[in-house]
């Protein structure tokens, strides 16, 4: 039970930690490229965390009511809506990201970028935080018997937060060119992951029809394994995805890959942009 608690909480923390670390790395790049602090890290991060925790608490306290709505598929519909909104905002972030040399142009788009980042991180904390709160509430009801599970959850949370910190420093430790390329790659994978998860939830709610399985890679990496669960949290890995899920994943990837931020990351103009 201890190990299961570690993996469960780690899986929930990792997705939110990945998104926050990724956006912080983008902010660092933008501030370096502009030569000034166009976006303040502290303000939007604190706002996102407070809003996310508060909404997660409300969501957790109304879990049964939400679950029973929409003919008892309210939880699936709500989470699908959250994933869809997150995917849309990540793609919008990629298209709003400034690529021109003018600092005034950077400042002009900063409000839209802040909006996207605040809402995306808030939704991630809402989604994952509410599940952790539900998990924690069940543990507290077990008294002493729940202590090993509680300690496992604490360890999992610590590993998840530490992984997010390490990811941020890994991204920012690269050269400015390679850092942007790595960030764009992770952004595209995250957007695809959100789109794929939304489709799966709508399939489960019978709001979308099921389509045939695209492939079965369970023999190579099982979803129930520790590595499989971590891969699911980081890149949305599934051993038996449907054709519709794969299509949604590729669509999320596509809209980020064709965005201005992607062209910036792999263009020759990037050398000039780094000298803004």
If the chain, 276 residues long, is cut into consecutive pieces of 10 residues, what is the mean pLDDT of each piece? 76 88 90 67 85 95 93 94 97 86 58 91 94 80 71 86 92 89 94 95 94 92 79 84 96 94 73 45
What's residue 28's pLDDT?
87
What's residue 190's pLDDT?
94
What's residue 140's pLDDT?
67
What's residue 58's pLDDT?
95
Residue 193 token pair: 């992951």
Tokens 């599970």, residue located: 149
Report CA-CA distances (Å) from 25 to 12, 28, 91: 21, 5, 16
What's residue 145's pLDDT?
66
d(CA 189, CA 252): 8
Q: Cβ distance 39 to 26 under 8 Å? A: no
147 contact partners, CB below 8 Å, separation of at least 6: none
Q: Cβ distance 201 to 79 under 8 Å? A: yes
Residue 162 CA neighbour count, 13 Å, CB half: 7
What's residue 274's pLDDT?
45
d(CA 79, CA 73): 10
What's residue 11's pLDDT?
81
β-bridge mates for residue 242, sequence order: 213
β-bridge mates for residue 213, sequence order: 242
What's residue 98's pLDDT?
79
What's residue 108's pLDDT?
64
Domain spans of the chain?
Answer: 2-273
d(CA 239, CA 217): 5
What's residue 137's pLDDT?
75
d(CA 10, CA 203): 26
What's residue 176's pLDDT?
85
């Amino acid at each position: 039970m201890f190990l299961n608690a570690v993996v469960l909480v780690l899986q929930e923390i990792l997705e939110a930690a990945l998104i926050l670390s990724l956006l912080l790395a983008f902010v660092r790049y933008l501030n370096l490229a502009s030569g000034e602090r166009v976006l303040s890290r502290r303000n939007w991060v604190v706002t996102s965390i407070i809003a996310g925790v508060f909404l997660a608490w409300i969501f957790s306290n109304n879990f049964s009511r939400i679950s029973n709505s929409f003919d008892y598929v309210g939880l699936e519909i709500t989470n699908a809506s959250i994933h869809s909104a997150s995917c849309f905002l990540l793609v919008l972030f990629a298209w709003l990201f400034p690529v021109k040399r003018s600092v005034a142009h950077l400042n002009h788009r900063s409000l839209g970028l802040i909006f996207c980042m605040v809402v995306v991180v808030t939704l991630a904390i809402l989604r994952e935080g509410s599940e952790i709160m539900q998990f924690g509430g069940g543990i507290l009801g077990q008294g002493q018997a729940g202590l090993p599970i509680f300690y496992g959850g604490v360890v999992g949370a610590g590993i998840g937060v530490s992984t997010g910190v390490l990811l941020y420093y890994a991204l920012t430790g690269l050269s400015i060119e390679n850092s942007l390329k790595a960030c764009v790659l992770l952004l595209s994978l995250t957007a695809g992951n959100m789109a794929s998860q939304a489709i799966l939830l709508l399939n489960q709610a019978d709001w979308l029809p099921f389509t045939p399985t695209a492939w079965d890679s369970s023999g190579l990496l099982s979803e129930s394994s520790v590595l499989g669960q971590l891969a699911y949290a980081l890149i949305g890995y599934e051993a038996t995805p449907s054709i519709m899920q794969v299509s949604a994943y590729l669509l999320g990837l596509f809209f980020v890959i064709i965005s201005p931020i992607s062209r910036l990351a792999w263009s020759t103009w990037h050398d000039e942009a780094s000298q803004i």
